[in-house]
Structure 1
Amino acid sequence: MSGALVPAQRGEPTPPAHHRSSWADHCARLARSRPFEIVIVVVILANGVVLGLETYDDLLPAGGALHWLELFFRAVFVVEIAVRLAAYGKRPQDFFRHGWNVFDFVAIAAIFIPGLHGDPALLRVVRVARMVRLVRFSPGLRTIVSALWRSLPGVGGFLALAVVTLYVYGMAGWLIFGSTYPEEYGDIGRSLLTLFVLLSLETLPGLIEQGLAISPWTLLYYVSYVIITVNLLLNILIAVIVNSMEEARRLEMTERLAPGYDEDGDGVPDEVDRIALTQRLDDLRAVVAALERELRIDREDGYGRPHREGTRTGR
């Protein structure tokens, strides 16, 4: 197991030993190293800074230097992908089994599509997509993105409920305020837009004042809307996302416990490390217990009172 190395990104499957060569081991070790990740993160951040500088018209004279920097960034990213692909040895197709690897490859390869160079706006979007690659280098960000992805089914149900609720209140608002305040409730579209803006609660005082000018009962309309939508529905959305984050954390911990996972890169799967550590701790406890019996050291019970494990005879 001395040659079992994990490729660049934590959580990726480990290539079988018989599919790797010494060159693949070197590439895996390089891609796994912390300095390599730091260099890539710095280059991604520098790429974002250059993209921001290109938006200033005053820096047009420096366009040549920025262009060369862009070529440098492309070269670094291509080398990065090549190293991580080479880490899989004779099975480079396994590289594409990991979602983040596929995203990285597409984000880097898309820049070389000839048709993109005729559309500067689309080309800039592809280049901006590189910034998203920062997520893969942060376990916390990866957990959040995974949680958002897993929450999509729940969010879809929430959106359906929110649309129905807004539509019902929109129709009610059109019936109550449509003739008096046509700018806010003149039709269902304006009514829905007014209620959507009301989710921020910034326009609530003005709308309540307008409603009270018609009837005090309009207060019930706004109070019920705020309670149901702003408080109840938004709290449901937060609960869905939080639940998805907990599931994403449990899934990540399960992957860490999977056989063959080697986060420390010592060539020994973490599961084997954990078993070995447990055995050593058990041996250490046995040694300490033997020393206590030999030295006749009394242990303390849960209340801090000393007691003896057995009763000595003859006393």
Structure 2
Amino acid sequence: MTHDGTTRLTPRQIVAARCRAVTEARWFAVGAFALILANAAVLGIETYAGVLHRWHDELKLVEHGFLAAFTAEILLRAGAHADRPRDFFRDPWNLFDLAVVLCAFLPVVRENATVLRLLRLARVLRAARFLPQLRIVLVAVVHSLPGTVSFLLVGALLLYVYAMVGWVFFADADPGHYGSIGRAVLTLFLLMTLDGLGDIVRDGLAISRWSILYYASYVLLASFVLVNVLIGVVITSLEEARELEREEKDEPGPPTTGTAGASERDVRDRIAAARRALDELEESLERLPAPLTHTTEATTAPVGSGHT
């Protein structure tokens, strides 16, 4: 605590405040998003063999520049949490960015061109960090996974049952579509998208008129009921993700004081310093001589008796 009553910031708090001033600036987010788009453009350019052969050295230099820029970005983000490192690792996007950057420095990754391209492609996914609507969609997809797993189990069971029924009735007459359980599953899976429905139904009617019941019931259950259930699960998860995003925006941020913008940790440190100062004042008061009140009474008593 300084002489003027303010709390002296620790080196970590100073580093965190300066890094936050950079990472919370709008130009920082715009620049990082532009780097991600440029990285995606370079990846697309490298798919042309002629361009890659002619500008190989230049593209290699550009890739090193991207790696340096993304490394500086993650270091600044980590520095912004220097006073509270645990908060950095609680953010899934920070963990994803850190993994993408660190893997690029591994010798095993750098020596494998295919893995390196996939890693560079993963950088494009970081664009979701700067696009709130896309981030909401990704969160909704993650939240819908439990419901999607149940949907997949029901769909797989339905597909298997109808594939076995199709193999039993149509294997001899239509071996191209129902000659084995694998072919029957593939046929019905494609039929779930209503692709080639007319041709398959005509082939079934040529075998038996009762096949219309088989195809009609399957299309009704697979293409309408199950697909609509999946859409409902995704829409519900999307609403939940939007509600979470809205709650995060409504939450009050940490109080800011001064130009550094003190965080909750800074406020707690200042409260602790104030308590220590109060304890020191109490100790100073306890050290004062106790007879001080008695001497005051002795000097005031004769004055009062003289007036009476």
State if a TM-score over 0.5 links the two structures. yes
| 3-state DSSP of counterpart to 1:21 | helix
Q: CA 1:212 to 1:19, structure 2 compared with 1: closer, same or farther past 3 Å?
A: farther
Tell me which residue corresponds to 1:82. 75
Is 1:112 aligned to residue 112 of structure 2? no
Task: Answer with 1 or 2: which has the greater Rg.
Answer: 2
Q: What does residue range 156-305 of structure 1 map to in structure 2 within 5 Å?
A: 156-260=149-253
Deviations 1:222-252, CA, capped at 9 Å, x for gaps: 1111110001100000000000011111122
Shift of 1:151: 0.5
Q: How far apart, in 2, do the equivalents of 1:85 and 1:92 lie?
A: 8
Deviations 1:173-204, CA, capped at 9 Å, x for gaps: 11111110111001111100000111221211
Q: CA 1:233 to 1:19, structure 2 compared with 1: closer, same or farther past 3 Å?
A: farther
Q: What does residue range 111-130 of structure 1 map to in structure 2 within 5 Å?
A: 111-130=104-123
Q: CA 1:155 to 1:19, structure 2 compared with 1: closer, same or farther past 3 Å?
A: farther
Q: How far apart, in 2, do the equivalents of 1:267 and 1:228 lie?
A: 58
Q: How far apart, in 2, do the equivalents of 1:36 and 1:143 lie?
A: 22
| 3-state DSSP of counterpart to 2:55 | helix
| 3-state DSSP of counterpart to 1:64 | helix
Q: CA 1:150 to 1:64, structure 2 compared with 1: closer, same or farther past 3 Å?
A: same
Give the alignment partner of residue 31 of structure 1, picking from 23, 29, 36: 23
Q: How far apart, in 1, do the equivalents of 2:242 and 2:76 lie?
A: 29
| 3-state DSSP of counterpart to 1:179 | coil
How much is the aligned-residue C-alpha RMSD, in angstroms?
2.0
Work out the percentage of aligned pairs sharing the same amino acid: 41
Shift of 1:49: 1.0
Q: CA 1:261 to 1:90, structure 2 compared with 1: closer, same or farther past 3 Å?
A: closer
Tell me which residue corresponds to 1:48. 40
Deviations 1:3-62, CA, capped at 9 Å, x for gaps: xxxxxxxxxxxxxx8795233212102101111111111111111111111121111110
| 3-state DSSP of counterpart to 1:112 | coil
Q: Which amino acid aligns with 1:37?
A: A
Give the alignment partner of residue 131 of structure 1, picking from 121, 124, 127: 124
Q: How far apart, in 2, do the equivalents of 1:213 and 1:261 lie?
A: 73
| 3-state DSSP of counterpart to 2:209 | coil
Tell me which residue corresponds to 1:302. none
- Structure 1 gap ranges (5+): 1-16, 270-315
Q: How far apart, in 1, do the equivalents of 2:100 and 2:116 lie?
A: 11
Q: How far apart, in 2, do the equivalents of 1:210 and 1:120 lie?
A: 48
Shift of 1:95: 0.8
Q: Contact (CA 8 Å) 2:144, 2:237: kept in 1 or not?
A: yes
Tell me which residue corresponds to 1:288. none
Q: Contact (CA 8 Å) 1:255, 1:261: kept in 2 or not?
A: no
| 3-state DSSP of counterpart to 2:193 | coil
Q: Contact (CA 8 Å) 2:160, 2:185: kept in 1 or not?
A: yes
Q: How far apart, in 1, do the equivalents of 2:149 and 2:166 lie?
A: 25
Q: How far apart, in 2, do the equivalents of 1:38 and 1:58 lie?
A: 32
Q: CA 1:22 to 1:261, structure 2 compared with 1: closer, same or farther past 3 Å?
A: closer
Q: Which amino acid aligns with 1:242?
A: I
Q: TM-score, normalised by structure 1?
A: 0.76
Shift of 1:80: 0.5
Q: CA 1:267 to 1:251, structure 2 compared with 1: closer, same or farther past 3 Å?
A: same
Tell me which residue corresponds to 1:21. 13
Q: How far apart, in 1, do the equivalents of 2:201 and 2:82 lie?
A: 68
Give the alignment partner of residue 151 of structure 1, picking from 135, 141, 144: 144
